[in-house]
Structure 1
Amino acid sequence: MSESVDFQALVERLQDRDWSALTESLPALQDRDLAALISELDAHLWEPLFRQIPTHRQADVFAYLSEDRQQTLVLSLLETDRITLLTALSYDDAAAVIAGLPESMGVETLATLSERDRWVIRSLLAYPEESAGRLMTPEFIALEADWTLAQALDHVRYTHEESETANSAFITDETGRLLGFVKLQDLLLGAADRRVSSLMRTDVISTPTRTDQEEVARIMRRYDLEVLPVVDEREILVGIITVDDVMDVAAEETTEDFLRMGSVGVGPIVLNLRNASANLLYRKRVGWLLILVVVNVFAGAAISVFETAIEAVVALVFFLPMVIATGGNAGTQASTLMVRSLATGDVQLRDWLPLWGKELAVSIALGATLGLAIWGAAAWLGGPEVGLAVAVAMSLVVVVGSMVGLLLPMILTRLNMDPATASAPLVTSIADVGGILVYFSVAIAILP
């Protein structure tokens, strides 16, 4: 935040409703600083603060706010102020806001916009959620290949305010089909009578409208793109996705993955811990915890099956928590690596066999090392046979946990489920049940 602005002084002016002094302070804050300030304040302060921001800046500040704060703010605005704000936003941002409104309010708000705005926003909302079509903006610069550079620059000057980005222009034919792109600096530096086609690059990377937003982020990251053109099934250019939109997607997807890996369900909104109610936090967490309780019931049932073995060799109980926890930890390590690799596109489902072989070799080596480490303590407390049983069980439990951690994310991906659902608690619970069965089965086989 700008160092020349006293944050506490701004808060005091808000609390005192000193609007004139507050208005004088706002020009010293950048749009992003204002958004950060709004994010730090309680609703009774940030709502009046937003209304004091000059109208021509509100849309830019609004774009930097979190999604939940955007929705809360829009719902608090008067209809005329809401319309003014939505009209100033880019089409993709306006579509996202309307999609988040209650259905009746969204329909009413959309009806108050201009005919062109209504048509564009409805066309964006027609695409699936979290798709390239919903993420893109239809505001871009399109040129024709047979134009001269002078004609092209005149067109850029005329349409640049309607474009999301002014770094690149895309070349289309008379039907709108994407042919290539050109850097605007090349247009500026080239001779005025040259044709756009002479500067056009045809190695353009595009994506269909129905591409998932995570895949869009991967494409832009892989090819280091500032802007990605979006085409329909006829290869007609219908919009572009800019790098700032992808940064928002990456942050959102990362948050969702962390929540899922912590067994916290996510719904239509991204969970904001500071602003979430206790009831919402309860509902987000209770479902998975109940599922994990059911899974762990099987762990208790597995122990009861081996009650006789436990009574015969009490020393087995001493090492049970250590062996089972180690298997769960090994599974968590494997699942974390796999979920991350699937999310970044480093591995595909077709890679499962070589990955399985590699993980099997690694887990055998890890299990043998850990088994050897625990053998001495087990032999000292329970005798050589107990030491052997615990060491072998440790080795096998580590292998079982690692296999669960590796394969569960792949199975979920194959079932079109988010692999992040293979969270640490879920992997650990499944590995616990398998580990208990392995531990006591080995003990019964080795011990007299």
Structure 2
Amino acid sequence: MRTIKPNVLKLVSTKNWRKLRLFLEHKDALTIAVLIAEVSKINKIIVIRSLSRKRAKTVFKMLSRSDQQDVIEGLSQNSQKLSRLLNDIEPDDRTAFFEDLAPDIVSQLLQKLSPEERKITVQLLGYPKDSIGRLMTPEFVAIKEDFSVAQAFEHIRKFGQDSETLNIIYVIDQDWKLIDDLSIKDLILAGPEERVVDLIDHRFVFLNALDDQEKAIQVFKDYDREALPVLNEEGVLIGIVTFDDILDVIEEESTEDFHKFGSIQNASKNPLKERILILYKNRIVWLVLLVFMNVFSGAALASFEDVIQQVVSLVFFLPLLIDSGGNAGSQSATLMIRYLALGEIQLTDWYKLIGRELMISLLLGLTMAASVAAVASFRAPEVIVVVCTAMVLNVMLGSLIGMLLPFIFTKLKIDPATASAPLVTSLSDICGVLIYFSIASKYFGF
């Protein structure tokens, strides 16, 4: 990569377009995609225009959303080039790109598509956001159950050129209802005169176009498939979803959950290219809300002013105690969110986990109390009992908060990742202050 960029820029500066095309022709698609991400907007366009139609389509798929938008904007001056690229892109990739654009821009780009591709794109965009329908592609090969193996291969050769994958061939009836799926291996090993109907067992896994994309992730994980058929409510085969599309969804879902856990709204995919004001808006909402939540911690402290004045050494251990509760809660929330996402626990399992969480947090609290007792024995021996008791209770309560919040959010049909670390920490802080100074008040008789 160190050599390709200078060479390309040199060829561009000398306007040696023929040599540039030949030079790029011998580079793999990923190398060209990385190059495009590193050069200026005008050079991105020059590189894309120097590629063949097939290579341009492949490279475009590998680009980030921001680079894709730069390419489309740059090609808008050449209607023919833009139309050709948009029509060449696979329907599912085109739909994913259109999802991130403003409606008026999508309308303009739709006019660049052929009537057939426009119909497909409008159909896919008509499915709910984050549904499997948005993810699927209608480019697949289906055969009839009454075909012979020889007829099946003839059909595949005729219609398989534009198929997303040929590893799986789908068997349908006269009404396009899915009967079964066959691996290409099954067909290759069968005799030419054998009938497709004799090869099928009517056992297949499918997705519903209206289901959420997260369900597709789970199904792919459970059945370890390269591709899955997508059916409508009547059982008609309308598309397929391939594993590479699912990998993209997994990345997006993981990134979204990561941002939510950090209390970040709609985080930009490329902070170097995003406007400062957008980045500010994405982060400020939750931070302001958490500021108001932490006001309760201050109010709790103010109510124990007499205790603090009489036993000043209590203040030394305050950050340690409330941080310990928040940290334990964040750990618990992280684990619960992960277990829920993987399907290892269900919403109805919450009550089964309370006893286990109490036992685990008790052991954690006692261990941490022993550690803080060692510190207190040198710094302030008179508060050892208070600090150790508060440590155990804070860790237990923080762990319970962290465990229960994901279940509560899931029950309310809110993404459990919203039970973010800052939210868990803020709630644990408020409770931690109340517990700590309430114990101190009772112990010292205030």
TM-score w.r.t. length of structure 1: 0.94
CA distance in 2, matches of 1:410, 1:429: 18
**Pairing partner for 1:433 from 427, 430, 433:** 430
Work out whether 1:408 is the aligned partner of 2:434: no
Q: What is residue 357 of structure 1 aligned with on the other side?
A: 355
Give the conservation status (yes or no) of the 8 Å contact 2:207–2:230.
yes
Instruction: Indicate if the aligned counterparts of 1:208 and 1:232 stay in contact, CA closer than 8 A.
Output: yes
Say whether the 8 Å CA contact 2:308–2:314 is kept in structure 1.
yes
Partner deviation per Cα, 1:387-414 (whole Å, 9 max, x = no partner): 1011000000001111111111111111
2:343 — aligned with what? 345
Distance of 2:37 and 2:294 partners within structure 1: 40
State whether structure 2 residue 446 is matched by structure 1 residue 422.
Answer: no
**C-alpha spacing 1:342/1:18, structure 2 compared with 1 (3 Å):** farther
Displacement of 1:163: 1.1
Q: In the alignment, which residue of structure 2 is the partner of 1:188?
A: 188
The runs of 5 or more residues in structure 1 that have no matched partner are none
CA–CA separation in structure 2 for the residues paired with 1:230 and 1:10: 43
Displacement of 1:339: 1.5
**Distance in 2 of aligned mates of 1:396 and 1:123:** 56
Aligned-pair CA distance for 1:17: 4.4
Could you tell me which of 43, 46, 53 is aligned with 2:44?
46
Hey, what's the Cα distance between the residues in 2 that align with 1:250 and 1:82? 30
1:26 has 2:21 as partner: no
CA positional deviation for 1:352: 0.9
Letter in 2 for 1:148: S
Shift of residue 258 of structure 1? 1.4
Output the amino acid matched with 1:427: V
Distance in 2 separating the partners of 1:374 and 1:288: 32
Residue matched to 1:215: 215
Q: What is the CA distance between 1:64 and its match in structure 2? A: 1.0
1:319/1:390 contact within 8 Å kept: yes
Q: Does 1:329 align with 2:341?
A: no
Alignment of 1:350-389 (within 5 A): 350-384=348-382, 386-389=383-386
Which amino acid in structure 2 is aligned with residue 395 of structure 1? V
Asked if 1:37 corresponds to 2:35, the answer is yes
Deviates more, 1:63-72 or 1:373-382: 373-382
Distance in structure 1 (CA, Å) of the matches to 2:435 and 2:273: 45
Instruction: State the SS of the aligned residue for 1:347.
Output: coil
Verify the 8 A CA contact 2:82 2:112 in the aligned structure 1. Answer: no
Is the 8 Å Cα contact of residues 98 and 110 (structure 1) preserved in structure 2? no
1:306 offset after TM fit, Å? Answer: 0.8
CA 1:304/1:74 → structure 2, altered by over 3 Å: closer, same or farther? same
TM-aligned CA deviation for residue 435 of structure 1: 0.8
2-side partners of 1:40 and 1:401: how far apart?
Answer: 46
1:224-264 alpha-carbon deviations (Å, 9 max, x no partner): 11001111111111110001111111111111111111211
1:444 corresponds to 2:432? no
- Gap change, CA 1:41 and 1:407, over 3 Å in 2: farther
Structure 2 unpaired stretches of 5+: none
Counterparts in 2 of 1:99 and 1:322: CA distance versus 1, 3 Å? closer
Aligned partner of 1:95 in structure 2 is: 95
Q: Mean alpha-carbon deviation: is it higher for 311-320 or for 22-31?
A: 22-31
Report the number of matched residues: 443
1:320 equivalent among 314, 318, 326: 318
CA contact (8 A) 2:86 2:112 kept: no
User: Is the CA contact (8 Å cut-off) linking 1:182 and 1:201 kept in structure 2?
Assistant: no
Return the offset for 1:16: 5.0
Cα distance change, pair 7–121 in 1 and its aligned pair in 2 (3 A): same
Q: Which moved more, 1:49-58 or 1:303-312?
A: 49-58
Q: What residue is the counterpart of 2:121 in the other structure? A: 121
Distance 2:377 2:138 in 1: 71
Amino acid at match of 2:405: L
1:68-112, Cα deviation, whole Å (9 max, x unpaired): 322232222223222111110111122233343332332233234
Query: Following the alignment from structure 1 to structure 2, what is the Cα–Cα distance between the partners of residues 249 and 133?
Result: 13
The 3 A distance-change label for structure 1 pair 18 and 339 is: farther
Q: Which moved more, 1:16-25 or 1:149-158?
A: 16-25
**Which letter maps to 1:73?**
V
1:260-294 Cα shifts (integer Å, max 9, x gaps): 11211117xx5222322222211111111111111
Q: Which amino acid letter does the alignment assign opposite residue 280 of structure 1?
A: I
Quote the Cα distance in structure 2 between the aligned partners of 1:295 and 1:347: 30
Partner of 2:237: 237
Of 53, 56, 66, which residue of structure 2 is paired with 1:55?
53
For residue 318 of structure 1, what is the amino acid of its counterpart?
Answer: F
| Cα distance in 1, alignment partners of residues 226 and 201 from structure 2 | 16
Amino acid at match of 2:380: G
Is 1:399 the counterpart of 2:396 in the alignment?
A: yes
SS at match of 2:109: helix
TM-score, length-scaled by structure 2: 0.95
Cα distance between partner residues in 2 of 1:301 and 1:15: 66
Task: For 2:300 and 2:16, locate their aligned partners in 1 and report how far apart those are by CA, in whole Å.
Answer: 68
Quote how far apart the aligned CAs of 1:419 are: 1.3
**Pair 1:382–1:46, CA change in 2 (3 A):** same
**Counterpart residue number, 2:283:** 285
Distance verdict in 2 for CA 1:257–1:17, change over 3 Å: farther
Distance 1:164 1:92 in 2: 10
Worse-superposed segment, 316-325 or 286-295? 286-295
SS at match of 1:356: helix
The CA deviation at 1:438 is: 1.0
| Residue 202 of structure 2: aligned partner | 202
Provide the rounded CA distance (Å) in 2 between the counterparts of 1:26 and 1:320: 63
Separation of aligned partners in 2, 1:445 and 1:11? 75
Distance 1:53 1:368, change over 3 A: same
Query: For residues 332 and 11 of structure 1, what CA distance do their matches in structure 2 show?
Result: 49
Which amino acid in the other structure matches residue 365 of structure 2? Answer: G
Q: Quote the residue 1:106 is aligned against.
A: 106
Deviation at 1:215, TM superposition (A): 1.9
Cα distance, 1:303 vs structure 2: 0.7
Query: Secondary structure of the residue that 1:161 maps to in structure 2?
Result: coil
1:263 aligns with 2:260: no
Counterpart secondary structure, 1:147:
coil
Matched-pair identity in %: 39
